[in-house]
């Protein structure tokens, strides 16, 4: 019986942790393993990672392995914070190379969204797969060489395809497009709004507007904070965020009595918050390219799976999935327009329900397992074409 190739997922950040990209790694590994490709996450042994087992932290199956590799983590030293990231990446890159030279076979798949470790690994392994999250605007020559060395390149939105082909001379044949995804079982939970509010201790007779996620500037949450001043008749809840962004946001908007800032909540709690809300807000800014063009927000797919109506920024990275049929769109970075759109959605509950129902229908195609199968089908096709060319 032929040996099944393993997928080594090289993840350069804290794992597990509250950042969405860490969840992304766990769900990717779980879904690859579901499709009968044993998966192993390689992560740096960082001080501030959660000590909880990843499968418990993220409510995934315990069907993938995690190898924590040595690195030099100096983030706790204030004077070295500016170079700490570079030191972690460099030492983790070397650890990954040593580990894979010992553990990986020549036909295994080395998968990563971290370009520095993967670039080095392309010199030692043929089956390298790069998932483009951000988009490189500088160092064109270096990235052109990197992209040429990768066997496969995945993009999470269509904007990146022509950019990769034109700017970096990437062959279209090595590019696969698939957006991010959601675990429908976790987010389409069979619970009413009333039950969700009781579980969370929220008022049952108030309209609740909800944002879940981080408070980075490109997330556009400032627009929602500004809208709170114009929406005294509803409660706006912000669930998520870590320091120092959480303290900064509270300082700017915490005085608004109708704005409730909860901070980080465990991932398994988020579906209840989304079920408890009347509207979910995705306010990404149009002022930063990472938001306007690069991202494929996992939050959008989680929102769609909840069955709760959505209001989202009208920007390319979002409208590739979100449409007038499945959500309300508003002008990005415009708190007055966001306020007006919230009022419109609340005043038209039948229209809001229709859009939410369509979103729930649309999101059925964006599951982690379907995403994994599409990626692996692309890989297997290239293996078949290679074997046929040899014959």
Q: What is the pLDDT of residues 262-275, one digit of tens each?
A: 998 988 899 999 99
CATH classification at residue 172: 3.40.50.2000
Mean pLDDT lowest among 217-221, 285-289, 387-391: 387-391
The yes-or-no verdict on residue 1 having pLDDT over 90 is no
Does residue 379 lie within any of the structural domains?
no
Does residue 160 lie within any of the structural domains?
yes
The yes-or-no verdict on residue 47 having pLDDT over 90 is no
380 Cβ contact list (under 8 Å, min separation 6): none
Q: According to the model, what pLDDT value does residue 288 have? A: 94
Q: According to the model, what pLDDT value does residue 52 have? A: 87
Give the pLDDT mean for 333-341. 97
Q: Is residue 172 located within the same domain as residue 290?
A: no
Give the pLDDT mean for 119-135. 95
Q: Is residue 124 located within the same domain as residue 198?
A: no
Does residue 391 lie within any of the structural domains?
no
Domain limits for position 171: 7-181
Give the pLDDT mean for 364-384. 92
Does residue 1 lie within any of the structural domains?
no
- Quote the crossing angle between the two packed helices 20-34 and 368-390, to the nearest 10°: 60
Q: According to the model, what pLDDT value does residue 362 have? A: 97
Q: Is residue 26 located within the same domain as residue 144?
A: yes
Q: According to the model, what pLDDT value does residue 235 have? A: 94
- Of 181, 211, 235, at which residue does a domain stop? 181
Q: According to the model, what pLDDT value does residue 391 have? A: 53
Give the pLDDT confidence of 305-325 residue by residue, as tens digits. Answer: 999 999 999 999 999 999 999
- Provide the CA 193 distance to its chain's centre, in angstroms: 26
Q: Is residue 269 located within the same domain as residue 131?
A: no
The yes-or-no verdict on residue 243 having pLDDT over 90 is no
């Amino acid at each position: 019986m032929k040996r099944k190739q393993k997928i080594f997922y090289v993840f350069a950040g804290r794992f597990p942790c509250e950042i969405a990209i860490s969840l992304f790694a766990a769900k990717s590994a779980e879904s690859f393993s579901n499709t009968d490709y044993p998966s192993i996450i390689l992560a740096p042994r960082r001080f501030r990672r959660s000590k909880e087992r990843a499968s418990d932290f993220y409510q995934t199956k315990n069907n993938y392995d995690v190898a924590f590799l040595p690195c030099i983590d100096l983030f706790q030293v204030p004077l070295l914070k500016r170079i700490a990231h570079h030191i972690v990446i460099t030492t983790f890159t070397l650890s990954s190379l040593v580990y894979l030279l010992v553990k990986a076979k020549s036909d295994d798949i080395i998968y990563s969204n971290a370009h520095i470790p993967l670039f080095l690994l392309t010199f030692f392994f043929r089956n390298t797969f790069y998932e483009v999250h951000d988009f490189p605007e500088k160092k064109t020559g270096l990235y052109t060489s990197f992209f040429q060395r990768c066997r496969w390149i995945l993009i999470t939105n269509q904007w990146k395809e022509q950019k990769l082909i034109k700017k970096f001379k990437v062959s279209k044949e090595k590019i696969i497009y698939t957006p991010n995804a959601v675990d429908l079982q976790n987010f389409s939970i069979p619970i009413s709004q009333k039950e969700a509010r009781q579980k969370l201790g929220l008022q049952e007779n108030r309209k609740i507007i909800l944002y879940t996620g981080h408070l980075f500037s490109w997330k556009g949450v400032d627009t929602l904070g500004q809208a709170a001043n114009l929406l005294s008749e509803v409660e706006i809840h912000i669930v998520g965020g870590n320091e120092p962004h959480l303290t900064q946001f509270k300082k700017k908007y915490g005085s608004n009595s109708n704005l409730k800032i909860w901070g980080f909540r465990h991932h398994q709690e988020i579906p209840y918050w989304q079920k408890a809300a009347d509207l979910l807000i995705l306010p990404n800014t149009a002022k930063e390219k990472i938001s306007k063009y690069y991202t494929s927000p996992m939050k959008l797919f989680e929102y769609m799976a909840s069955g709760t109506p959505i209001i989202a920024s009208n920007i390319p990275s979002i409208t590739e999935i979100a449409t007038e049929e499945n959500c309300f769109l508003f002008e990005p970075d415009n708190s007055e327009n966001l306020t007006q759109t919230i009022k419109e959605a609340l005043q038209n509950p039948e229209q809001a329900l229709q859009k939410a129902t369509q979103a729930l229908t649309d999101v059925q195609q964006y599951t982690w397992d379907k995403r994994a199968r599409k990626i692996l089908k692309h890989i297997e096709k290239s293996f078949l074409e290679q074997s046929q060319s040899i014959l």
